[in-house]
Chains A and B, each alone.
Chain A
């Protein structure tokens, strides 16, 4: 098992003690990343509540692009299984969805259920990597959000003519069960809102849905649900005043670090996630997957290697294919590394003991 404090290898107990001291002494600690199984994320929320910390996730940019549009205009959405089973037209918006395994399943066969059963499946790209789809429509110079606005204006009949988007709008309306795939982080809140507006207008004559697929693996979907049932809020909450306050701008961990507001952090990345730059400027406890490249002394001031859920430990994870939280048994009998939930629980216990002393 691996644990490091200030570059020196040590045992987990010493590292946990040091982590509790770091968080206990901090004025505005941050708990970030939250790339782990559900039990560990729950433990991270409890630790944040005990230490007055704020929370942020690895995929917050996309999560808030999605939630911001959802809170304002709602969403017409479906699941990957429904898309594979029923869609006779798939509109792929931007580059990121092409990196998702769902694309291969959609390209492999046509719809087998519902009104469009037996029909061929059309795969249409708006933007996207060169050569990804036979049917590709170019993006406006203004970007994807402006392109979606342009397409929506044709779909509404507010713009007319022989433009490529006029043709694309006709094809969307001709679908019996259409699905638009997009990555909220790529198209932004403005783009999501435009796309959802377009989908809802098409739905007045046929069936059409939007389905968010992220280009990167992440647990944000699970964190959003856990945060909702734990705090009643979306993930960026702070416990500085005892109650969970939600503020997506104030509790952006990168902003807090750059502004010098956070003076300690805990970065939870039992599953692989990109290492944030601010680990270099804020004293941080990093909980990283055992055997990952980050499980090394130089990752952060305090580093503790933990079991990887779904690989060396059991855990409940977001299942993107089923759009649900599901149990993942360990692939191999985990030897050595403790679970992230256990480490977080022990840090919290030490923190409350130190506070009581």
Chain B
């Protein structure tokens, strides 16, 4: 288990794109300490902010986080990263595989464009969790993103594939979804606005867009499969999927092949 220990709060935003167990496994501690992570002219290196202890394993622990730690686990393809603290924007952006766990909270755009692996945020997530960044093709794209706490607005915006589970979310959850599945115990106003396909499973919800129409209650095999899948992630979400649900179809402003299941 390799360990990076934060010495003091970073003086600027740091970019952790190139800090993965795989990239560190081939380096000595002195070489790793020279990796650039700063985003200003000062040219901060990993060793300037963290003490570095490497053992060549596929597990990396970051002791002490900061909301200024951007792109942690972005481009992770194998191995494990655990952060004992908070992270900044774009956690696990474009991640292809492996396991990424944040014990604190994450900034915006967590899991954006991630195609594989599992991201778990024990605390809260910022806006656009599982959502697409500017000009990107899609948000969450095949990975599993679990947010134990509360997510901000635009959860899963333009999500394309994969599973997104959140304790609660703000407004416009599942906006412009291309496909995929989102489950949240509570969401704010206008969930699924502009969604094309995909499944939204929600407990409490705010105002519904007039472009969603109720299509009754159904007993579908899909819901039992969904409940079984969710059981391994969160019991509360699995219970929601197994309980009484009303189905809405939408968003009728688009091709309208999406569905929203709300607790009856």
- For residue B116, CB closer than 8 A to chain A, the reply is no
Chain B residue nearest to A165 in the complex (CB): B210
Task: Say yes or no: A142 contacts B12, CB within 8 Å.
Answer: no
- For residue B229, CB closer than 8 A to chain A, the reply is no
Task: Say yes or no: A240 contacts B39, CB within 8 Å.
Answer: yes
- For residue B193, CB closer than 8 A to chain A, the reply is yes
Residues of A within 8 A of B209 (CB): 142, 146, 149-150
Residues of B within 8 A of A71 (CB): 134-135
Task: Say yes or no: A149 contacts B11, CB within 8 Å.
Answer: no
Chain A residue nearest to B132 in the complex (CB): A72
Which among A142, A148, A153, A190 is the interface contact of B175 at CB below 8 angstroms? Answer: A190
Residues of B within 8 A of A242 (CB): 41
Interface centre among A149, A242, A247, A250 (most CB of B within 10 A): A149
Task: Say yes or no: A28 contacts B12, CB within 8 Å.
Answer: yes
Task: Say yes or no: A190 contacts B189, CB within 8 Å.
Answer: no
Chain B: interface size category: 35 or more
- For residue A109, CB closer than 8 A to chain B, the reply is no
- For residue B109, CB closer than 8 A to chain A, the reply is yes
- For residue B194, CB closer than 8 A to chain A, the reply is yes
Task: Say yes or no: B108 contacts A149, CB within 8 Å.
Answer: no
- For residue A238, CB closer than 8 A to chain B, the reply is yes
Known: A153-B211, A197-B253. A190 touches B89 (CB 8 A): no
- For residue A261, CB closer than 8 A to chain B, the reply is yes
A198 CA / B190 CA spacing, docked (Å) = 19
A234 CA / B134 CA spacing, docked (Å) = 10
Flag B202-213 by CB within 8 Å of A: 1 or 0 each: 000001011101
Known: A140-B210, A249-B108. A156 touches B41 (CB 8 A): no
Known: A27-B11, A246-B134, A249-B89. A142 touches B207 (CB 8 A): yes
Flag B37-81 by CB within 8 Å of A: 1 or 0 each: 011111000000000000000000000000110100000000000
Task: Say yes or no: A27 contacts B172, CB within 8 Å.
Answer: no
Residues of A within 8 A of B86 (CB): none
Task: Say yes or no: A149 contacts B211, CB within 8 Å.
Answer: yes
- For residue A356, CB closer than 8 A to chain B, the reply is no
A250 CA / B232 CA spacing, docked (Å) = 35
Looking at the assembled complex, report how far the CB atom of A194 sits from the nearest CB atom of chain B, in whole angstroms: 6
- For residue A293, CB closer than 8 A to chain B, the reply is no
Chain A residue nearest to B109 in the complex (CB): A249
Task: Say yes or no: A248 contacts B176, CB within 8 Å.
Answer: no
- For residue B13, CB closer than 8 A to chain A, the reply is yes
- For residue A278, CB closer than 8 A to chain B, the reply is no
- For residue A130, CB closer than 8 A to chain B, the reply is no
Flag A216-259 by CB within 8 Å of B: 1 or 0 each: 00000000000000000010001011100011111000000001
Task: Say yes or no: A250 contacts B13, CB within 8 Å.
Answer: yes
A149 CA / B193 CA spacing, docked (Å) = 8
Task: Say yes or no: A197 contacts B254, CB within 8 Å.
Answer: yes
Interface centre among A28, A198, A259 (most CB of B within 10 A): A28
Task: Say yes or no: A153 contacts B12, CB within 8 Å.
Answer: no
- For residue B251, CB closer than 8 A to chain A, the reply is yes
Among A48-74, those with CB < 8 Å from B are 52, 64, 67-68, 71-72
Looking at the assembled complex, report how far the CB atom of A141 sits from the nearest CB atom of chain B, in whole angstroms: 7
Residues of B within 8 A of A28 (CB): 12, 39-40
Flag B18-38 by CB within 8 Å of A: 1 or 0 each: 000000000000000000001
Chain A residue nearest to B208 in the complex (CB): A142
Chain B residue nearest to A256 in the complex (CB): B13
Which among A52, A145, A156, A249 is the interface contact of B252 at CB below 8 angstroms? Answer: A156
Which among A150, A248, A259 is the interface contact of B134 at CB below 8 angstroms? Answer: A248
Task: Say yes or no: B12 contacts A27, CB within 8 Å.
Answer: yes
Task: Say yes or no: A27 contacts B253, CB within 8 Å.
Answer: no
- For residue B256, CB closer than 8 A to chain A, the reply is yes
Looking at the assembled complex, report how far the CB atom of B252 sits from the nearest CB atom of chain A, in whole angstroms: 4
Known: A28-B12, A52-B41, A197-B253. A141 touches B207 (CB 8 A): yes
- For residue A138, CB closer than 8 A to chain B, the reply is no
Interfacial residues, chain B to chain A (CB-CB below 8 A): 11-13, 38-42, 67-68, 70, 89, 108-109, 133-135, 158, 172, 175-176, 189-190, 193-194, 207, 209-211, 213, 251-254, 256
Known pairs A27-B12, A159-B210, A193-B194 / 15 extra A-B pairs, C-beta < 8 Å? A27-B42, A28-B40, A52-B41, A68-B135, A71-B134, A149-B251, A152-B211, A153-B210, A153-B251, A190-B193, A190-B194, A197-B254, A238-B39, A240-B12, A248-B134
Sorted nearest first, the 3 A-B pairs with minimum C-beta distance are A52-B41, A158-B252, A149-B253
Interfacial residues, chain A to chain B (CB-CB below 8 A): 27-28, 52, 64, 67-68, 71-72, 140-142, 145-146, 148-150, 152-153, 156, 158-159, 190, 193-194, 197-198, 234, 238, 240-242, 246-250, 259, 261
